[in-house]
Structure 1
Amino acid sequence: MTDTTTPVSNSTITPTTASFDKKTANQADVAVTLTLNGNTLSTIKNGTATLVASTDYTVSGSTVTIKKEYLATQALGSTTLTFEFSAGTTQSLVVTIADTTVAPTAALKVQMYNSSLSASGNTLNPKFKLVNTSTSAVTLSDVKVRYYYTIDGEKAQSFFCDWSQVGSAYVTGTFVKLPTAKANADYYLEVGFSSAAGSLAAGASIDIQVRVSKEDWTNYTQTGDFSFNAVDTNYVDWSKTPAYVSGNLIWGSEPN
């Protein structure tokens, strides 16, 4: 018997990443173009929360506009909005939320080493030390640290915090796919903190020991990854793990 079922085509969205600045003068809606491929948009979600049509976003033809009033309520760092359709796979928009209203006075540095120096393996094991080099405390929920790498086979990924002085439960990990892949990075892990993590005192430091794996435990190739430290076996200043306060880069550099 011949199967006459028509294959389902996935919808797509453009862009898949965007930036939003909470500074009043810089605020702007984020427009997303839908290519529906015969489907219809069902919902947009932020985690388990469903955005409200006409309040949080509007739809006009093939354009969805995420309103600046909604984005202004989101925490600093990466917010992932999931577009669900009547058929096919979901699509994600990652919005980087910053606030340049006040330039950060914090001074931080990141030290790092990789607990596994193997060329390939099924887990990434960066260990970070966040050092407050300023003369005042830093609110940890304002801080983000990025680890840039290549995924080497697109799969869903899992984040684990094995240990930190602030409590593993208060350390967050978000995976962000670069809109344009680099030779040495097509993803970054953004490590952050919940409000319960508190603050980092002047001159103090904390360790954040994390792991990353794919859902099927296939290997990553670490060789050549932007943030990978292939030499050291203890903490060293590492500029290839940039740090941000309130969305502003204050340590290190991003891949070119």
Structure 2
Amino acid sequence: MNDSSVINSTISPTTATFDKQTANQTDIPVTLTLNDNTLIGINNGTTALVAGTDYTVSGTTVTIQKAYLAAQPVGTTTLTFNFSTGASANLAVSVVDTSSTGSGSITVQQYNSPVTATSNSLSPRIKLKNTGTTAINLSDVKLHYYYTIDGEKDQNFWCDWSTVGSSNVTGAFVKLPAPLTGADHYLEIGFTSGAGSLAAGDSIELQIRMNKTDWTNYTQTGDYSFDPTDSTYTDWSHTTGYVAGALQWGTEPQ
């Protein structure tokens, strides 16, 4: 017989980001609201984390150790908190690695809209910033958004809006010679000479959209460049940036 008086436990936060770059590694603290329950363990899929090694508990704070997180692959690691009664709670950790981001002359920030598991269009929102000390000709910049096509069809590209004008933003679809983790295609975003230059310290925004010509769905879940958790611009190393053909931001899929 179900006990309707049981109140589920909750955790805060429910999403977090961990950078595998050594200088940026930090533990992730999680606050528990137990509601008269007790924490009985944490799982990553079917694998149980080891208390005292992978995580520590102090009162109502659980700390996921950086050594454990650094061992996780780039992508989303979902940790399930299990309690004595009531429903479990999930912490989705976006694991990134900015250790190979080139010379750092540009930064790519991103969020996605929509973030549904399936959608008939992919719509990354991108902010490109010049973090160097000299202006960059935007016609020298390329951005790669990696994804799986989920049924190969012809595709359409639109730039719905941009700081530099939609007509100055270009898009080309590229099929990878062999599938990689979370990607068998990428969209290469570029700029015409009419986009001008990006001064040191300045940024531009892009609202991108792509779809298959028959409007069948993509499955976004697991796509390399898809950000399922953020709703505002966030540094996003899974969308790569190049200046004059050289990787300047992000980590390409393997």
Please report how far the alpha carbon of residue 106 of structure 1 lies from its aligned counterpart in structure 2 after TM superposition. Answer: 7.2
2:194 is aligned with 1:196: yes
Structure-1 separation of matches of 2:134 and 2:243: 14
**5+ unaligned residues in a row in structure 1: which ranges?**
1-103
Structure-2 separation of matches of 1:105 and 1:253: 13
CA contact under 8 A between 2:103 and 2:248: conserved in structure 1? no
CA contact under 8 A between 2:181 and 2:253: conserved in structure 1? no
CA contact under 8 A between 1:119 and 1:222: conserved in structure 2? yes
Structure-2 separation of matches of 1:106 and 1:225: 24
Higher alpha-carbon Rg: 2
Please list, as runs of the form range in 1=range in 2, the aligned pairs for 1:157-172 lying within 5 A after superposition: 157-172=155-170
CA contact under 8 A between 1:130 and 1:206: conserved in structure 2? yes
Q: How many residues align?
A: 153
Amino acid at match of 2:228: A
Amino acid at match of 2:189: V
Amino acid at match of 1:168: S
Provide TM-score, normalisation by structure 2.
0.59
Structure-1 separation of matches of 2:163 and 2:226: 23
Amino acid at match of 1:202: A
Amino acid at match of 2:121: T
Identity, in percent, stands at: 60
Structure-1 separation of matches of 2:248 and 2:232: 23
Please report how far the alpha carbon of residue 115 of structure 1 lies from its aligned counterpart in structure 2 after TM superposition. Answer: 1.1
Deviation digits for residues 165-217 of structure 1 (CA, Å, limit 9, x no counterpart): 11000000000000001241000000000011100011000001110000000
Structure-2 separation of matches of 1:105 and 1:123: 33
Q: Which runs of 4+ in 1 moved over 3 A?
A: none
2:189 is aligned with 1:226: no
Which of 204, 225, 235 matches 1:237?
Answer: 235
2:165 is aligned with 1:175: no
**5+ unaligned residues in a row in structure 2: which ranges?**
1-101
CA contact under 8 A between 1:115 and 1:127: conserved in structure 2? yes
